[in-house]
Amino acid sequence: MQAMQVRSDFPILTKTIYKKYPLVYLDNAATTQKPRQVVEAMTEEYYNVNANVHRGVHFLSQQATELHEGSRETVRKFLNAQSTGEIVFTRGTTESINLVAQCFSDAFMKEGDEVIVSEMEHHSNIVSWQLQQQRKGIKLRVIPITDDGQLRLDEYEKLFNDRTRIVSVTHVSNVLGTINPVKDIIRIAHEHGVPVLIDGAQSTPHMKVDVRELDCDFFAFSGHKIYGPTGIGVLYGKEQLLEKLPPYMGGGEMIKNVSFERTTFNALPFKFEAGTPDYVASTGLARALDYVSNIGLDAIEAHERDLTAYAMQRMAEIEGMKIYGPADVNIHDAVISFQVGNIHHLDMGTLLDRLGIAVRTGHHCAEPLMRRLGIKGTCRASFALYNTREEVDALVAGIQRVKQMF
Q: How many residues bind ligand PLP (CB under 6 A)?
A: 11
Answer whether 323's CB lies under 8 Å from 316's CB: yes
Q: Tell me which residues in 141-180 interact with ligand PLP (CB under 6 A).
A: 170, 174
Contact call for residue 382 and ligand PLP (CB under 6 A): no
Least Å distance, CB 7 to ligand PLP, is 24
Query: Is 365 annotated in the active site?
Result: yes
In this chain, which stretch among 89-97, 154-162, 181-189, 350-358 interacts with ligand PLP, using CB under 6 A?
A: 89-97
Contact call for residue 222 and ligand PLP (CB under 6 A): yes
Spatial separation of the C-alpha atoms in residues 38 and 374, rounded to whole Å: 41
Helix ranges, 326-388 (H): 345-353, 367-373
Least Å distance, CB 285 to ligand PLP, is 12
DSSP reduced 3-state for 371:
helix
Least Å distance, CB 137 to ligand PLP, is 25
Answer whether 171's CB lies under 8 Å from 146's CB: no
Among 92, 149, 195, 229, binds ligand PLP (CB under 6 A): 92
In this chain, which stretch among 87-95, 187-195, 260-268, 309-317 interacts with ligand PLP, using CB under 6 A?
A: 87-95
- 231 vs 252 by CB, closer to ligand PLP: 231
Among 189, 194, 201, 336, binds ligand PLP (CB under 6 A): 201
In this chain, which stretch among 109-117, 154-162, 199-207, 238-246 interacts with ligand PLP, using CB under 6 A?
A: 199-207
- Interaxial angle between packed helices 297-316 and 389-405, expressed in degrees from 0 to 180 and rounded to the nearest 10: 30
Spatial separation of the C-alpha atoms in residues 336 and 373, rounded to whole Å: 15
In this chain, which stretch among 92-100, 314-322, 355-363, 379-387 interacts with ligand PLP, using CB under 6 A?
A: 92-100
208 to 92, 202, 204, 277, 348: CA distances (angstroms): 19, 12, 7, 27, 33
Question: Of 231, 219, 210, 237, nearest to 282 (Cα)?
Answer: 231
Question: Of 350, 401, 357, nearest to 381 (Cα)?
Answer: 357
DSSP reduced 3-state for 195:
coil
Among 94, 118, 180, 337, binds ligand PLP (CB under 6 A): 94
CA torsion 387-389-390-396 (nearest 10°) is 100
Among 34, 54, 68, 122, binds ligand PLP (CB under 6 A): 122
Interacting residue ranges for ligand PLP, rule: CB under 6 A = 92-94, 122, 124, 170, 174, 199, 201-202, 222
Active site residues: 365
